[in-house]
């Protein structure tokens, strides 16, 4: 899941200061699960904005709507009429949704009301932790299903680093050492010998930091990466 967090109200007000009619657009998927951009958060933000603008004596119209997913043009098409009533869309989705709106509706102004944080899992309601950096070449079959790139502070492929203390990472006693977790898990599975092989330096050309990628799925008749 993409983990997102709503921007502070003051930042949103500053971004949207020049617009009179604002459509707050929620996203019914990741942003909803993160309590940052679902129908409920759209309603709360809309009320907060209305109140804040009223206190400051400004006249603004704040509209509300939530689509199932902003990262799919299919679901954005249902707002094609609604956006005509607004000067700007304040998107409560990850950065993909914001850009999907900008591409689908080229003449429409769009603002990000959310900060996109990472790919993570829900540890318990309201607590998410990072699990994947979208490196494009998953290696966790070597490491007992635990990602060393994301969870080791140094992203080591051959760990541990030597700084681990009582199973915690040297950067903080609050954070488990990823390589201790990997060793414990491989030991439990009787696969510790996997670590005897030294891993070569990672080829980062498949990573998202190597530029924007497009994945072509097999349902398009061919598969691969562009
Ligand atoms: S190895 Fe790469 S793809 Fe696999 S979980 Fe880690 S960052 Fe994600
Ligand atoms: S202590 Fe463990 S998690 Fe922290 S940097 Fe070293 S190997 Fe990585």
Atom of ligand 2 nearest to the CA of 164: 1
| Ligand in nearest proximity to the CA of 207 | 1
What is the rounded distance in angstroms from the CA atom of residue 95 to the CA atom of residue 221? Answer: 28
Q: Do both 74 and 173 map to the same domain?
A: no
> How many angstroms separate the CA atoms of 66 and 49, rounded?
17
Residue 224 inside a domain? The answer is no
Predicted pLDDT at 223: 59
Q: Which residues contact 214 (CB under 8 A, 6 or more apart)?
A: 225, 226
Which atom of ligand 1 lies nearest, measured to the CA of 132? 8
The Cα 52–Cα 54 span in angstroms is 5
Among protein residues, the one whose CA lies closest to atom 3 of ligand 1: 138
In order along its 226 residues, the chain shows pLDDT tens digits of: 999 999 999 999 999 999 999 999 999 999 999 999 999 999 999 999 999 989 989 889 999 999 999 999 999 999 999 999 999 999 999 999 999 999 999 999 999 999 999 999 998 888 999 999 999 999 999 999 999 999 999 999 999 999 999 999 999 999 999 999 999 999 999 999 999 999 999 888 887 765 655 657 666 666 565 5
Answer yes or no: do 113 and 155 share one domain: no
Q: How many domains does the chain have?
A: 2
Residues 97 and 141 reside in one and the same domain: no
Q: Is residue 42 part of a domain?
A: yes
Task: Verify whether ligand 1 is closer than 6 Å to residue 121 (CB atom).
Answer: no
Q: Are 22 and 62 in contact (CB under 8 A)?
A: yes
Is residue 73 domain-resident?
yes
Q: How far is the CA of 124 from the centre of ligand 1 (A)?
A: 22
Pair 167, 72 in one domain? no
CA gyration radius, the chain? 22
Vertex 121 angle, CA 200 and 217, to 5°: 65
* Positions of E strands within 54-186: 61-67, 88-92, 110-112, 114-124, 127-132
183 and 142 belong to one structural domain: yes
222, part of any domain: no
71 lies in the same domain as 147: no
Question: Do 153 and 196 fall into the same domain?
Answer: yes
User: Is there an atom of ligand 2 within 6 Å of 143 CB?
Assistant: no
Residue 141 lies in a domain: yes
The CATH number that applies at residue 29 is 3.40.50
Q: Is the pTM of this model over 0.85?
A: yes
Residues 112 and 156 in one domain: no
What is the per-residue pLDDT for 58? 86
**114: which strand partners?**
6
Please give the number of the atom of ligand 1 that sits closest to the Cα of 138. 4
Residue 151 lies in a domain: yes
Could you say which of 118, 147, 163 is where a domain stops? Answer: 118
For ligand 2, the distance from its centroid to the CA atom of residue 178, given in whole angstroms, is 6
Ligand nearest to the CA of 182: 2
The domain in which residue 138 lies consists of 133-209
Q: Using the 3D structure, point to which of 56, 85, 118 is the last residue of a domain.
A: 118
Same domain for 111 and 147?
no
Examine the domain organization and report whether 191 and 145 are in the same domain.
Answer: yes
What is residue 224's predicted lDDT score, i.e. its pLDDT? 62
Considering the domain architecture, whether residues 171 and 79 belong to the same structural domain is answered as no
Separation between Cα atoms, residue 34 and residue 122, nearest integer Å: 9
Report yes or no: 69 and 75 within 8 Å, Cβ to Cβ.
Answer: yes
Atom of ligand 1 nearest to the CA of 119: 8
The residue whose CA has the least distance to atom 8 of ligand 2 is 152
**CA angle (189 as vertex; 158, 127 as ends), nearest 5:** 75
Q: 159 in ligand 2 pocket by Cβ < 6 Å?
A: yes
Considering the domain architecture, whether residues 146 and 187 belong to the same structural domain is answered as: yes
Q: Does 189 map to a domain?
A: yes
Q: Do the beta carbons of residue 1 and residue 7 sit within 8 Å?
A: no
Q: How many CA atoms lie within 13 A of 127 on its CB side?
A: 2
């Amino acid at each position: 899941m993409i983990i997102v967090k709503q921007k502070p109200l003051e930042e949103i007000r500053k971004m949207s200061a020049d617009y009179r009619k604002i459509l707050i657009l929620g996203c019914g998927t990741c942003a909803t699960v993160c309590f940052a951009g679902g129908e409920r958060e759209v309603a709360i933000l809309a009320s907060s904005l209305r109140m804040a603008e009223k206190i400051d004596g400004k006249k603004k119209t704040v509209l509300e709507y939530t689509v199932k997913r902003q990262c799919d043009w299919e679901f954005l098409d249902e707002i094609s009429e609604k956006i005509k009533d607004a000067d700007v869309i304040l998107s409560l989705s990850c950065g993909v949704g914001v850009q999907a709106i900008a591409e689908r509706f080229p003449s429409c102004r769009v603002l990000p009301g959310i900060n996109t944080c990472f790919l993570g899992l829900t540890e318990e309601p309201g607590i998410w932790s990072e699990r994947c950096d979208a490196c494009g070449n998953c290696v966790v079959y070597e490491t007992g299903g635990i990602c060393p790139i994301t969870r080791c502070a140094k992203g080591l492929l051959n760990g541990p680093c030597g700084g681990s203390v009582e199973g915690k990472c040297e950067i903080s006693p609050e954070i488990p050492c990823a390589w201790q977790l990997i060793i414990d898990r491989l030991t439990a599975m009787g696969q510790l010998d996997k670590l005897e092989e030294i891993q070569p330096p990672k080829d980062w050309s498949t990573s998202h930091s190597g530029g924007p990628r497009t994945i072509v799925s097999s349902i398009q008749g061919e598969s691969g990466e562009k």
